[in-house]
Amino acid sequence: MPLFLTSLSEPSENHRIEPLHEGFLILPVTGRELQFDALARRVINHVGPFAAFARKDENGLYESVHILPTDQG
């Protein structure tokens, strides 16, 4: 899956969206935590038109990623 703001800002089989005043959160779909963890790792390592701030749970898996669009112009 390409890591574009449009694809991250839409729910998928592995993540759901929570809009925020500044950007949005991507969160795991119940039962898809391992797949979300892999997605979160790709997101935080991706250089794109956004900044990503991740949180891990007590098991060491990513539980959320705050996406903040950035101006690259």
For 19-53, give one letter per residue: b (16+ CB within 10 A) or e: eeeebbbbbbeeebeeebbebbeebeeeebebebe
Q: How much is the pTM? A: 0.88
Confidence of residue 21 (pLDDT cuts 50, 70, 90): very high
* Helix, coil or strand: residue 11: coil
DSSP E strand stretches across 1-73: 15-19, 24-28, 50-56, 62-69
pLDDT tens digit sequence for 23-50? 999 999 999 999 999 999 999 998 878 8
Q: How many residues does the chain have?
A: 73
With contact defined as beta carbons under 8 Å apart, do 15 and 36 qualify? yes
